[in-house]
Structure 1
Amino acid sequence: MILIADSGSTKCDWISVDSQGNQLLDKLDTKGLNPALLTEKELSEIIQANPNLIRVKDQVSHVFFYGAGCGTENPRLLLKEVLQNIFQKAFIEVKEDTLAAVRASLNHKNEAAVVCILGTGSNCSFFDGEQIHQRVASLGYSIMDDASGNYYGRQLIRGYYFNQMPEKLKVLFAEKFNLEADAIKNKLYKQANPNAYLATFAEFIFTHKDSDYIKNLIIEGLRLFSKNMILQYSEEIKTIPVHFVGSIAHFSKEEVLEVAEEFHFKVGNIIRRPIEGLVKYHINHLDSWK
């Protein structure tokens, strides 16, 4: 049995397949497994809380894990050790979520493309057909992550508190979320994963896209992301596509295309979840890990 996992800070999608790519179990979900934010104990407890994963742990031959927070060595090794302790008979590979986006979105293995992640966080990289290149080092959600879920959550809360949000939307927003100042400050400054907490508010923008205020909010975030991230590859995007991966990109497809025209780049694939593309990739290249 082969397990493939794609994790953000909020949620992790798992899929189990055989060596032919046939799905063995229903798609599995756990909380996000970001080793840059969570302790070894927390990571282990999240995995072990899913009984279906634990039930098959001794049948697993390979675990291919892609996740937020896995781009630097120490967090990556921490998560690999956690996985190895649970799936003791398996080959374990842990890679950053950027590589998952690349492998899942390309039309063919050696395609050159700029690949963007717009989920809980955001990122942008250039794949030259062999290697990934990043021209901006991520400094995390509090400084970067334009057009991400946590960015939009932050903008919604600010708009609400600065009285910039239209009154009708303010009422709807307050009905859906606990917007008491003490509750927000507790989540942001005293609880784990404030970035994931902020991202929970982002759903609101996609259920109220008929509002000019919301549409402008989406557009402005995408403009910032394009200016600060995509235009780092201004020469490359003249001749290669820009692929997008993540739920924010998926639900704002119309706005992505609008901003792409404004910034003169060609949108390639827009994929909500990369997990299916990762299955195809790993089955086609399974001999590389035997």
Structure 2
Amino acid sequence: MILITDGGSTKCDWIAINKNGEQAVEKIRTKGLNPAIIEETKLEKIVKKKKALRKIALEVTHIFFYGAGCGTDKPRQLLKGVLEINFPNALVEVREDTYAAVRSSINTFEEAAVVCILGTGSNCSYFDGKKLHQRVDSLGYTLMDDASGNYYGKQLIRDYYFNKMPDTIRVAFEHKHNLEADFIKYNLYKQGNPSAYLADHAEFMFLNKDSEYIVNIIKQGIRVFSENMILQFKEEIKTVPVHFAGSIAFFAQDEIHEVAKEYGYTVGNFVRRPIDGLVDYHLKNL
């Protein structure tokens, strides 16, 4: 049995495939397992706590884990060790989430493309058909992650406190979220996953897209992301498509198409949940 995992900062989706290429159990979901921001003991606790994973632990022979925070060696090896302990019979491969975006969005295994992630966090890479290329190391939600869920959550909260929201949007935002200053600061500075906390506020945008204010926020974030990330690959985007993976991208397709025209790149595929494309990829490579 193989386990394929799409791991974000907010949540992880796990799919178990048997030797016949069939899904062995129902899709399993756990909390996020970002090893760059979650300490080892908490990572272990999240995995061990899930009964559905414990049930199949000894049957798993291979794990293909694609995750946020797995782009550098130290956190990648940390998570690999946690998985090896919990799945003692499995060969474990941990890759950064960008590979999940590539493998789930490209049309053929050797298609060249610029591939973007807009989910809880954000990233952008060039896949030349064989290798992945990144020209800027991600520094996470505090300094980067433009146009991500946590970016938009931060923008909404800032606009609320700086009184930049239209009154109708302000009232709706108050109804949707606890916006007391102490509550916000507690979640940002005393809880373990502030990126996911901020990203939780981004859903509000897509429930209120009839507002010009909301549409402008979405488009401005995509402009910043385009300038800082996509335009790293100025020459490549002249000849290859730009694919997008992640829930923010999926729900902002109209705005992405509009901004793409401004910046001169061609939008390719949108994948809301990379896990589905990863299953197809690994079934063809069993």
> What is the TM-score normalised by the length of structure 1?
0.97
Give deviations 1:159-218, integer Å, cap 9, x for gaps.
Answer: 100100011111111111110001111111121111111000000000000000000000
Alignment of 1:156-171 (within 5 A): 156-171=156-171
Deviation of 1:19 after TM superposition, in Å, equals 3.1
Q: Which moved more, 1:149-158 or 1:49-58?
A: 49-58
- After superposition, what is the alpha-carbon deviation per residue over 1:41-89, rounded to whole angstroms, capped at 9, x for unaligned? 1011111121111111111111110100111111111111110101101
Is residue 12 from structure 1 mapped to residue 12 from structure 2 by the alignment? yes
Between the aligned residues of both structures, percent identity stands at 62
Q: Distance in 2 between matches of 1:162 and 1:260?
A: 30
The alpha-carbon deviation at position 40 of structure 1 amounts to 1.4
- Separation in structure 2 between the aligned mates of residue 210 and residue 49 of structure 1, nearest angstrom: 41
> Which position in structure 2 is the counterpart of 1:82?
82
| Cα pair 1:166 1:213 within 8 Å, conserved | yes
Q: Please give the alpha-carbon distance, in whole angstroms, between the structure 2 residues aligned to 1:18 and 1:113.
A: 31
Q: Are residues 5 and 43 of structure 1, via their aligned partners in 2, closer, same or farther at CA, if it must alter by over 3 Å?
A: same
TM-score by length of 2: 0.98
Matched, 1:256 2:230: no
1:138 alignment partner, SS class: coil
Aligned length: 286
Q: Which residue does the alignment assign to 1:106?
A: 106
Q: Is contact 1:20–1:283 with CA below 8 Å preserved after alignment?
A: no
Corresponding residue for 2:152? Answer: 152
Matched AA of 1:235: E
Spell out the pairing of 1:216-231 with structure 2 (5 A cutoff).
Answer: 216-231=216-231
Structure 2 SS opposite 1:98: helix
What's the counterpart of residue 238 of structure 1? 238
Contact 1:114 1:240 in 2 (8 A): yes
Q: Partner of 1:131 in structure 2?
A: 131
Whole-Å separation in 2 of the counterparts to 1:243 and 1:55: 36
Give SS of 2:89's match: coil
Counterpart-to-counterpart distance in 1, 2:265 and 2:276? 26
Q: In the TM superposition, what are the counterparts of 1:1-290 in structure 2 within 5 Å?
A: 1-286=1-286
How much does 1:39 deviate? Answer: 1.4
> Which of structure 1's runs of 4+ aligned residues deviate more than 4 A?
none
Unaligned 5+ runs, structure 2: none
Deviation at 1:249, TM superposition (A): 0.3
* Gapped regions of structure 1 (runs ≥ 5): none
Deviation for aligned residue 1:20 = 3.7
Residues 7-56 of structure 1 deviation map (CA, whole Å, 9 limit, x = unaligned): 11001111111234311111110000011111111011111121111111
Q: Residues 227-258 of structure 1: CA distance to partner in whole angstroms, max 9, x if unpaired?
A: 11101101110110000000000011111111
Report how far residue 114 of structure 1 moved.
Answer: 0.1
Cα distance between partner residues in 1 of 2:14 and 2:261: 35
**Contact 1:21–1:280 under 8 Å retained in 2:** no
**What is the SS of the residue equivalent to 2:64?**
strand
Using the alignment, how far apart are the partners of 2:238 and 2:75 within structure 1?
A: 36
- For residue 107 of structure 2, give the secondary structure of its aligned residue in structure 1: coil
SS in 2 for 1:243: strand
Using the TM superposition, name which of 187-196 and 198-207 deviates more: 187-196
In the alignment, the residues of structure 2 paired with residue 138 and residue 216 of structure 1 have an alpha-carbon distance, to the nearest angstrom, of: 25
Contact 1:5 1:14 in 2 (8 A): yes
Residues 133-166 of structure 1 deviation map (CA, whole Å, 9 limit, x = unaligned): 1111111111111100000000000110010001
